[in-house]
Every structure is written in C-alpha cells, then in structure tokens.
Structure 1
Amino acid sequence: MGLVKNAPRYDALDSWRGICACMVALFHFDVFSHLTFLPLVRHAYLFVDFFFVLSGFVIAANYRSRLAEGFGIGRFMILRLGRIYPLHALTLLLFIPIDAAKDGIGPNLFQAVVTNVFLLQGLGVNPQNWLNFVSWSISAEFAAYVVFAVMVTRLGTAKWPWLLPIIAGPVVIATMSPHGMDTTYDYGLVRCLYGFALGVVCFDVRERFPLLKQRLSPAAETLMEAASFVLAVGYVSVAASSLPLSIGSPLIFALVVLVFAREGGSVSAMLTAPFMLFVGTLTYSIYMMHPLVRAFVRAAFLLVQRVLHTDLFIPYALNPGNEPAPIIYLHGSLWLGDLLQVSMLLLTILLSVATYRFVERPGRDWARRLARRDKVGALASTAPTAKVHEHAEA
C-alpha cells in the first residue's frame, strides 16, 4: 500500500501558500523600490503565520485520526523529516561559507551549525538568526509536529488541548516578545504553536459542522472568497502598525483557510489554474531559497560598488521602530528597484524548480519508502501475537 491514500488535498490553499511565500521573499529582498514601500510587502512577514495555520489544518486533516488509531509517532516523524530536512540541509551547507566569509569562523558559527543541524534554531536557544535566517520557522514547525504527534497519540482527537496555545500564545507575544509578532529565533515556537493550534481547531470545527463544507451558489461562494481575500490583504497591509492587530493576524488566516478549503467560487478556480498550482508546489523551495538569492545578489552589488566606487546601498529603516539596515539603492530609481526585485523573485522561482525536482521530491519519496519499511517491520514483529488493522497512510 502506498503512503498517500485518500489524503485530502486543498489546491486553492496550496496556491495561497505559494503567494504568501512570494510575498515573504519580496519583503526580505530589501530593495529601494515601489514594491518595497507597498504596505502589503512591508508587513509581509505576517504571511509566515498563514503557513503555520495552514500547516495545522493540513496535518490534522491527514494525520490526526491515523495517529489516534496507531499510525505511529516514528513513522509520522520520518515523513515530516523527509518533507523538510533535505532542503534545509542543502541551504545550511550553502550558507556556512557565506556566514564564515561575513563574520569569520568562531563559536557563533559553530553554535549556528549545531542548532541548525538539530532543528533547534527557532526554539529560543540562539541570540539571533544565523545561516539561512528563515529556517527558524522550520525549526519551530518541526517542534509543533512533535507536540501534535504526542498530544494526539496520548489524548486522541480532543480539541481542548489546542486551546492553550491559542489563548497563551498572544499573551506571551504581547508581554514578552521584544519584536511583537515579528518574533523569530526567540519566541518563534510560541508564534508557531499559536497558528498551528488554530489550524487544528479549524479542521475540527469544519468536521463538526457540516454546514462549513456545504456548497452555496457559485455567486455566494465567489463573494465569500473575494471578501476574505480582500480582508486578508487589507488586514496585513495595516496590521503591523498595531501590536493587537498583528497578533490577531492568525485569526484572519484561519478564516481564509476555512473559506478556501471549500473551493467553491471563482477565486478558487483562479487559484487552481495550472500556473498557480505550479507556484504552490514550489512554496517550500521558494521560502527556503530566497535568502540565498538575496545573499548572492547583495554580494554582487557590493562587488560592483567596490569596483565602480559608487554607492549602491543606503541605511534605511523599512518599518517604524526598526534599526536602519543597508538596502540596495539604485541611485534613487524606484523603477529599477522594482525590476531588480521582480528579477530576484523570478530567479528564486527558477532555482526552486531545480530544488523541488532534485532535493524536495527525492527526499520526500525516500522518507515514504523508509516509513513503508518501518511499517512492514512493525507488522512482521506483531503478526504472531496480534491481529493488525491496516490504516490508510499519507
């Protein structure tokens, strides 16, 4: 039996993930441009919380019942590691020489490598982001997988345990996080569990209330989708200016997940067009590879700046309260900045095609084969003494 059977797919939500990954990339490129100064892009770090909410929803849809029925924590973790670790390992190896050239070889680099290897870099053990700076969220999400597997195995499909991070997460972020909702290496796990738990609860609510799955007329479905899309875009555009609003962003994303899981309107139809599905498939690679594109482009501009004796960077605080940081400045031309930023995004997508084909997919397939062998071994060891019920796997 294959490891993917009857697993629910939410194509429109996959495309949403792809859009969010592209927005996060634009946010991190740090170019003086029209795009950078759009409020939606300036606050696009909040789209990481969409990943967390959607992850909780999809993981609950695919694994909650199976784990409660004996799927096995070990097999679950093998599958999740196979999904995230190969590309994480590749970007880690590529960033080691970059950080060594920038900051030198020393205790910080050693700590960075060790914590990244063991996926600890987003759990509050480092004083800053090192190496691939977005990988803090991979660390936090892997910890959320562990929490999910243990809780479901021990407590079954109960909903109440997930209310704790939903209630405590915003309180901790509001009172303890020095960067508010833009917390990463320090309170990233709290941020992740807050969104992840919301996703799990969203799935539970959707299962308990059939009305949330029942299709309305195409016009009504389209209206709901368009309204939630506009709400999400408008909310992110203004949310970062207010701590309470930014902390509430996962709630907005939970609404988006519930609406687009229905896939009943014209907006979903556009999101499930081939190109959008293609971008959605590349989401993880886009997310993990865009810091590498950023690093190489900035290195190239530093070299050009040195050779031509011209200033191609200026210190600039893109958001209120942030310390000024050097951003690429093409002699004040916002249009050239737009062109550079779009080119960086296209380059990221091209690289992502390669990493998906040669890193992500082989790693995922290897993990599935390993998990299948683990299952076969478990069946063989228990066959003489017990009757084993085979479960569908994903």
Structure 2
Amino acid sequence: MASAENISRYRALDSWRGICACMVALFHFDVISHLSFLPLTRHAYLFVDFFFVLSGFVIASNYRSRLAEGFGTGRFLALRLGRIYPLHLVTLLLFIPIDAAKDGIGPNLLQAIVTNVLMLQGLGVNPQNWLNFRELEHQYRVLRLCDLRRRRKPDRVGDLALAAPDHGRTGRARHHQPRWDECDLRLCLVRCLYGFALGVVCFDLRERFPVLRARQAPSGETWLEAASLMLVVFYVSVAGSNVILQVASPLVFTLVVLVFAREAGGVSRWLTVPFMLMIGTLTYSIYMLHPFVRAVVRAILMVVERLAHMELFVSYALSPGHEPTKVVSMNGSLWLGDLLQIAMLLLTVLLSVATYRFVEEPGRNWVRRLADRRKAAAVRSAQPAFDT
C-alpha cells in the first residue's frame, strides 16, 4: 500500500480534466460560430460526465490509502473545503454586482447570497440559478471515504465515500422535464454520483487486476490511446441526440480513463507537456470563471449593440432539442464568432492563472497548515504525561 507521501500522480488524467473544463466553457459561451456548430462542441455537456469519472478516479487514488492509514475523514473534509471554498466565495462576490445590475437588489438575490455562502444553492431552494448558472457546483456530498483494498480475508468492508467533484454545469433550465444535458436536482445529483462512483470502481479495478496496469509496446499503447481519443470525439459527437447514449457515456469514459491511467503512449506524452499540465492545474478555476467571462462579455456586447445600433444577439437554439435563446452573432460572421470564442477561452485561462496563484493556492495551503497544526496538537494531547 502506498504511503501518503508516495501517491501516484496521474498527470495525463489531470490534463484530461482541463480539456473537459475548456470544452464545457466553449459549450456555454453561446456564440454563432464554426466551433459552436461542431457536433463535438454542441454536445460538450457530456464532458461533465467525463469529468465526474475522472474526479472519482483521481480522488480515490489520492485519498484511499491515506484514509486506510488513519488520515481521518474530518481532515479530508477540511482539506476539500479549503480546496473549493475560497474560489467559490470569490466568484460569488464577482456575480453579486452582475445580478444586482440585471435584476435589482431584492429578496431573491439576498436569499441566493445566503444559500451560496452556505453552498446550498444546488438544493433547489432558490427560484432560479442566481449568482451563477452552475448546479450543485463544487459541493462535496461526502458520505464516508472508503478503503477498497483487497485483503487476505475479505471480511472487512471499508466505508464508501462518494464526493461530488470540483464542477457543475448548465444554464438556467428551459424545460420543466429533466434532461441529461440540462438537468435539475433530480438528475444532476444522479449524474454526479453515477459518474463519480464509476471513477472509484475504475480505480479499484485497476488496483485489483494487474493486466490493466501492464504496459504494451510503446507503439501499441499509442495506437490504443489514439483509438480512445477518437472514441471520445466520435461518441460525444453522436451521443447528444440519443438519451440512451447519453446515460451510457460514463461507461465509455471509464474505459478511456483506464487506458490513459497507464500513461504509456504518444497521446499521453502530448497530454503531459507543460502547457497541458498547466491547463489541468487550472481546471477548477476554468470551471468557476468561465461563467463570469461569459456574463461580462455579453454585457459589453449589449452595450456596444445599443450604442452602435448593431444586432449582436439573435434568437437561436445552438443545442438540439433546446428552445431558442439569445446567442451572440458577430454580424453574422462565423469566423468572427470563432475568434470571439477563442478569445473568451484565452481570457478565462489567463484569469484562471491569477485566481489559482492568488486564491486557490493560498486558501488550500492555509487550510492545510491549520489542519496540520490541529493534528499535531491532537497527537501531543494524546501522549501520556510522565513525572520527571
């Protein structure tokens, strides 16, 4: 069993999480462009399910052995809260003036502030998704963390932990019936637990069966990874129009995770170049900040539209089965739309660098130091005192 100081780092999977975040951002930017009309982008909400599977695998790999060695569920919860809450609070503060300017300061906004501060905004208590458009965002619904180790005598069943990963998605619901790609609480929690649980199972299967870790020749691994990459592109492109394929997508993503956890092929080498690793590191910030970038850019374009008497918004349904909504149209030019989407994504990444450096890292480190001090104090208090 690996010690807490010797935990494997699945760098290629971290980069995949960054790719998922970027694809979800492109899906949410709502711009008439070549990119938006690509089936891969139109159905990119499925990368949320990919992210859930990835997070289940990565969190299980990071914490399973630690908890088995007495890491402590309370310490785990404290560290996870330190990981997600500082940036959650910052984005909340960014969205308050946006919603206040849009809808005014009233009881709905005040209620939304309270529920967001308490991280209860995903429970359906607000009349709509105020202050952001993500559901169940970054809420760690931790039941208990488990030890899934294989023992000599399988008579000890560890505790099971299911934690919702660092992300949520979808805009304000336009349909009363729940949809896989535009889910309310009834489906969002199901998607989260379903994908995350598959990620945990995926990690356990890899640990239990050495054949899943055994590497082939480099060329064979490269072909396997390339086939898995093409599978993701193809499946996401076609699954958006079929509910059965949507529901089955986490199973497909589980297979892809098993392939890239080996990190033995040419695609993995590309995924572990410094730029891709940086995108993986910025995953949480990208998820949290892209709605803010979207809101600010749309607000600026609305002002330009009024001042310049231009038509920069049209009513259109970018995703199949959705009702038309106001999307950005750069004077009808798809190429300008592409440039705008790319610029919005680059702006999101640049802002994410800043929030990671000045919000995520300091918050996480402060909580870790606090947890270490409390652990040290608990150890000292537990030691017996001897008369000298």
TM over 0.5: yes
Q: Between the two proteins, what is the percent identity of the paired residues?
A: 67
| Alpha-carbon distance in structure 1 between the residues aligned to 2:331 and 2:304 | 13
Tell me if the contact between 2:224 and 2:259 (Cα under 8 Å) persists in the aligned partners. Answer: yes
Give ranges in structure 1 of 5+ residues lacking alignment.
166-175, 386-394
For 1:45 and 1:278, locate their aligned partners in 2 and report how far apart those are by CA, in whole Å: 22
- CA drift of 1:120 comes to 1.8
Establish whether residue 202 from structure 1 lines up as the match of residue 202 from structure 2.
Answer: yes
Calculate the TM-score normalised by the size of structure 2: 0.89
- Structure 1 position 159, deviation (Å): 8.2
**Other-structure match for 1:147:** 143
Contact 1:83–1:363 (8 Å) recurs in 2: yes
Distance 1:80 1:160, change over 3 A: closer
What is the distance in 2 between the residues matched to 1:342 and 1:269?
25
Q: CA deviation at 1:307?
A: 0.6
What secondary structure, in the 3-state scheme, does the structure 1 residue paired with 2:326 have? strand
Flag the 1:219–1:157 CA change in 2: closer, same or farther, 3 A. farther
Displacement, 1:314?
0.5
Instruction: Tell me, yes or no, if structure 1 residue 35 matches structure 2 residue 40.
Output: no
> Matches of 2:103 and 2:330 in 1, distance apart?
26
Deviations 1:96-124 (A, max 9, x none): 11111112222221222222112222234
Shift in Å at residue 185 of structure 1? Answer: 4.5
Aligned pairs (5 A) from 1:152-231: 158=157, 178-231=178-231
Given that residues 27 and 45 in structure 2 are in contact (C-alpha distance below 8 angstroms), is that contact kept between their aligned partners in structure 1? Answer: yes
Assess if the C-alpha contact under 8 Å between 1:159 and 1:204 holds in 2: no
> Separation in 1 of the partners of 2:367 and 2:374?
10
Counterparts of 1:344-359 in structure 2, within 5 Å, are 344-359=344-359
**How many angstroms apart in 2 are the aligned matches of 1:71 and 1:23?**
35
SS at the partner of 1:133? Answer: coil
Residue aligning to 1:72: 72
2:333 paired with 1:333: yes
Q: Partner letter of residue 55 of structure 1? A: S
Please name the residue that 1:281 is paired with. Answer: 281
Query: Do the aligned partners of 1:125 and 1:186 also contact (CA within 8 Å) in 2?
Result: no
The farther-off stretch of 200-209 and 314-323 is: 314-323
How far residue 80 of structure 1 moved from its aligned partner, in angstroms, is 0.4
The residue number in structure 2 matching 1:118 is 118
SS of 2:287's partner is helix
For 2:182, the aligned partner's letter is D
Change over 3 Å in CA distance of 1:126–1:259 after alignment to 2: farther
Residue type of the alignment partner of 1:147: L
Which is further off, 191-200 or 373-382?
373-382
Query: Any stretches of 5+ residues in structure 2 without a counterpart?
Result: 149-153, 165-175
Deviating more after overlay: 202-211 vs 367-376:
367-376
Backbone CA RMSD of aligned residues: 2.4
Per the alignment, residue 11 of structure 1 pairs with 11
Asked if structure 2 preserves the Cα contact closer than 8 Å seen for 1:123 and 1:187, the reply is no
Deviation at 1:8, TM superposition (A): 1.6
Q: Which amino acid is 2:300 matched to?
A: A
* DSSP-derived class of the 1:311 partner: coil
- Matched residue, 1:270: 270
Which whole-Å CA distance do the structure 2 matches of 1:272 and 1:215 have between them?
18
Change in CA separation of 1:327 and 1:157 when aligned onto 2, cut-off 3 Å: farther
8 Å CA contact 1:75, 1:374 repeated in 2: no
Distance 1:157 1:198 in 2: 21
Structure-2 separation of matches of 1:111 and 1:8 = 42
- Please report how far the alpha carbon of residue 157 of structure 1 lies from its aligned counterpart in structure 2 after TM superposition: 8.0
State whether residues 122 and 189 of structure 1, in contact with CA within 8 Å, keep that contact through their aligned partners in structure 2: no
Amino acid at match of 1:371: A
Distance 1:147 1:156, change over 3 A: farther
2: CA distance between counterparts of 1:329 and 1:96?
A: 27
* 152 and 96 in structure 1: CA distance in 2 versus 1, 3 angstrom threshold: farther
Q: How far apart in 1 are the matches of 2:101 and 2:187?
A: 28
SS in 1 for 2:370: helix
Determine the structure 2 residue equivalent to 1:309.
Answer: 309
Q: 3-state SS of the aligned residue for 1:52?
A: helix
Distance 1:271 1:315 in 2: 38
Aligned partner of residue 63 in structure 2, secondary structure: helix
Question: What residue is the counterpart of 1:322 in the other structure?
Answer: 322
Aligned to 1:170: none
User: Structure 1 CA distance, aligned partners of 2:195 and 2:144?
Assistant: 13
Change (3 A) 1:138 1:105: same
Task: Judge conservation of contact 2:34–2:335 (CA < 8 Å) in 1.
Answer: yes
Question: Displacement of 1:74 after TM fit?
Answer: 1.3
Tell whether 2:80 aligns with 1:84. no
Instruction: Supply the distance in 2 between the matched residues of 1:201 and 1:159 (Cα, whole angstroms).
Output: 14
Cα distance between partner residues in 2 of 1:256 and 1:177? 31
Write the letter of the residue equivalent to 1:244: I
Partner amino acid, structure 1, of 2:143? V
CA positional deviation for 1:177: 6.0
Say whether the 8 Å CA contact 2:147–2:158 is kept in structure 1. no
Partner of 1:132: 132
